[in-house]
Amino acid sequence: MISVKNSRELELMRSACRIAANALALAGEHVKPGVTTWKIDRIAHQYILSQGARPSFLGHDGFPASACISVNSEVIHGIPSKERTLKQGDIVSVDLGARFGGFHGDNAATFAVGAVSDQARRLMDTTRDSLFDGIKKACAGGRIGDISAAVGQRAESDGFSVVRSFVGHGVGRQLHEAPEVPNFGEPGRGARLVNGMTIAIEPMINAGGYQVKILPDGWTVVTEDGSLSAHFEHTVAVRGDSPEILTTPG
């Protein structure tokens, strides 16, 4: 069942999402050569707690950290490690959430470690652009497929591929709620968008093929062909014909 939030619930969502967005921005500031993914996770974790919130991901289905940190060919769900040190030229996707007042905020971004290749920069730019193309379609009266099609068309028109095995989702009292929000599809299909729906739109875009696999750790998803992957995500509220991005730092 799709959850529609009232004005009070949306205000709580804004608080949770603001904390998540600030934590993501802070994590991004520490994506530098020589820094471990474990340190980035700890920084985000401590910030979320300092705001009276709880990390949404920690313990979720058994996940062992507060942020998913995925490097280069890792698509999503990378486990932070003291042994994983970032290097010049890496691209690093950080995905995290915060629970506050009974509601979750969820967001992600991919950061460059110093100067990166032209392909990596194009991939990051396209993935970010595809997210905002999707957000523009999150309008009351439309359908989920309008968002999906906009994301997929931008990514594929730039020569990249869209991960199909993992999708965006509703978010609210639960970290993952209905409906699913794929990053590919046809306009005019899927659930109807109504005011008060809150969804996480999150393109996962690969430089090579769209196929992925899960590593033996049971979590880390990587591109099957070893190509680079990027990931951007916002939690968005449907508000008439002007979608509201809730995961805005402030």
Taking the CA atoms of residue 142, residue 106, residue 51 and residue 26 in that order, the dihedral angle to the nearest 10 degrees is: -120
Give the residue extent of every domain in the chain.
7-245
- pLDDT value for 177: 98
Question: What is the CATH number that goes with domain 7-245?
Answer: 3.90.230.10
Render the chain in DSSP notation, one character per residue.
-B-B--HHHHHHHHHHHHHHHHHHHHHHHT--TT-BHHHHHHHHHHHHHHTT-EESSTTGGG--SSEEEEETTEEE-PPP-TT-B--TT-EEEEEEEEEETTEEEEEEEEEE-SS--HHHHHHHHHHHHHHHHHHHT--TT-BHHHHHHHHHHHHHHTT-EE--S--EEE-SSSSSEEEEE-SS--TT-SSBP-TTBEEEE--EEESS-S-EEE-TTSS-EEETT---EEE-BEEEE--TTS-EE-----
Mean pLDDT by groups of 10 residues along the chain of 250 residues: 96 98 98 98 98 98 98 98 98 99 98 98 98 98 98 98 98 98 98 98 98 98 99 98 97
Q: Is the model's pTM score more than 0.85?
A: yes
**Cα distances (Å, whole numbers) of residue 77 to 7, 190, 220:** 32, 26, 5
Amino acid in the structure at residue 36:
T
